Structure 1
Amino acid sequence: MKLVKTGILPLDTQLGGGMPAGSVVSVFEEPGAGADVLSYHFTVEGAKQGENVFYLATDDSSEEIREYINLYFDLDEAVWENITLLSLNTSVLSEEGEKDAKDFLKKTIYDPIGGIKTILSHEEFERVVFNNFTYFLVNYPIEDVISLIDVLSNYAKKNQSVVMLLVTKGMFDSRTETTLKHYSDGVIELTLREVENEVQRRLKVVKFKGILVPKAILRYELTDKGIKMESVMRVL
């Protein structure tokens, strides 16, 4: 079975080498837990290996995402050539329109789900990131969201890719959250906990098809190099 590395060595070790190819992985985070930084590690790991990566941003401009990634990794232009950035942020459409290499990328902003399906039908990506999938849960009926996940799942299996969906915890009722977890192949939760005089961040793998799910909860910090995760497991 092909495994796709996350770019965070202790996490890959706990997963038995990485995430199974052909998976849709939902990352549920409490605000501030750093799911975006996890997605940067995942993106950069693929791009540095010469893989084709598609990164969809719903809240930030493509230029902002590029700046955020470079803040931690400072990639050279050759690596950026492997990353296709697309923003659905309408406020930056005019300034970004000329920068997009493909015409159908520009049209996606008016019909996000239709545009994404078009992009995926034209391109083969080893890694796909939605930052943030909450956008679709807010703006579309749950039936449309499930249909999109089905498309992403078929795409991942066909291309032996991993699709990562970032989701903000606590914004939806438990039924919606459970539905999304049900249709995902893998589920990871990032949480914050205040302990004495510091904030601790923790990662828990809830489920993963195709591999043994680690029972430990992993602690990590956000640093100038991205996520620094303890290599020793903690069973909490």
Structure 2
Amino acid sequence: MSDRLTTGITVLDRELGGGIPAGSIVALLADPASQSELFLYELTAVRGTLYLTTVRSDQAVEDAIARTRTRTGSPTVRDVGGEAPLDVANKLVRDLPEGANLIVDIVDVLESNDPVRYRAFLNGLQTHMVNTGGLAVLHGMKGGEPANRRYTEHMADVVFDLRTTVDGAEIENRLAVPKFRGGRAPEETIKLRLSDQVAVDTSRDIA
């Protein structure tokens, strides 16, 4: 599909040539101590979203979305972190409507399943997203990644690599897009501010 879907973050859409191709799977990889979930919250503002949480409870996610100052929508939040998380996620994915977002936060729990079953989940997800023209975002934590993370990165059409560094009192967030099927990936990282929303950091780098 040639249609582009907005991420809800204007500068990122511009860097990506108008957004992400409809039907894509996106892997958002980030440090556990970063505020990468702000990306997920902003995404809920631009279209209907099914938000699958695997670690936090559904109530905790809903409370966090209600408290954030960034622009959000009203996603349907489901806790799939209990028994048979992959089976529950599979069933919910099959019911996704046309043009919807799917967020899995965090995908590490699903990646910890049997490789054959996880691979089948990814292939089913890819087929469904292409058929419905939606967008799936798999939010993964860096450091101690499950062995199946390589399948996530391979199947993903777009990889967002959020790099957070702390130097004294300064916190720096840079977003790299090393993989972008269906478009041209930015050649340079994007410096971001992640406080109460996602914004471009316009402060100049000092060499």
Alignment partner of 1:221 is 2:193: yes
Partner-residue secondary structure (3-state), 2:97: coil
Displacement of 1:223 in angstroms is: 1.9
Corresponding position of 2:137: 164
Q: What is the root-mean-square deviation in Å for CA atoms of aligned residues?
A: 2.4
Q: Give the whole-Å Cα distance in 2 for the aligned partners of 1:112 and 1:197.
A: 39
Deviation at 1:172, TM superposition (A): 2.5
Shift of 1:178: 3.2
Q: CA deviation at 1:216?
A: 1.3
Between Structure 1 and Structure 2, the one with more helix by share is: 1
Identity of aligned residues (%): 21
Counterpart amino acid of residue 218 in structure 1: I
Q: 1:189 matched to which residue of 2?
A: 161
1:35 is the counterpart of 2:36? yes
Q: Is contact 1:218–1:233 with CA below 8 Å preserved after alignment? A: no
Per the TM alignment, residue 179 of structure 1 is displaced from its structure 2 partner at its CA by 3.1
Q: CA offset at residue 53 of structure 1?
A: 1.2
Name which one, 1 or 2, has greater alpha-carbon Rg.
Answer: 1
Which SS does the other structure have where 1:45 is aligned? coil
Alignment of 1:106-185 (within 5 A): 109-124=82-97, 126-138=100-112, 140-172=113-145, 176-185=148-157
Structure 1 residues 152, 68: closer, same or farther in 2, change over 3 A?
A: same
Q: 1:75 to 1:207 in 2, by over 3 A?
A: closer
Residue 131 of structure 1, CA deviation: 0.2
TM-score (norm 2): 0.88
| Cα 1:199/1:233, change in 2 over 3 Å | closer
Determine if contact 2:80/2:88 at 8 Å carries over to the other structure: no
1:196 Cα deviation (Å)? Answer: 5.0
In the alignment, which of 32, 51, 62 is matched to residue 58 of structure 2? Answer: 62
Deviates more, 1:184-193 or 1:159-168: 184-193
State the AA in 1 paired with 2:53: A
Question: Which residue of 188, 199, 207 corresponds with 2:171?
Answer: 199
Residues 113, 177 of structure 1: alpha-carbon distance in 2 compared, 3 angstrom cutoff: closer
Q: CA deviation at 1:122?
A: 2.9
What is the TM-score normalised by the length of structure 1?
A: 0.78
- Where in structure 2 are the equivalents of 1:2-81 lying within 5 Å? 2-46=3-47, 52-73=48-69, 79-80=73-74
Is the contact between residue 42 and residue 71 of structure 2 (CA under 8 Å) also seen in structure 1?
no
Deviation at 1:30, TM superposition (A): 1.5
Q: Which runs of 5+ in 1 are unaligned?
A: 47-51, 90-108
Residue deviations 1:68-109, cap 9 Å, x none?
Answer: 112224879xx52xx2110134xxxxxxxxxxxxxxxxxxx4
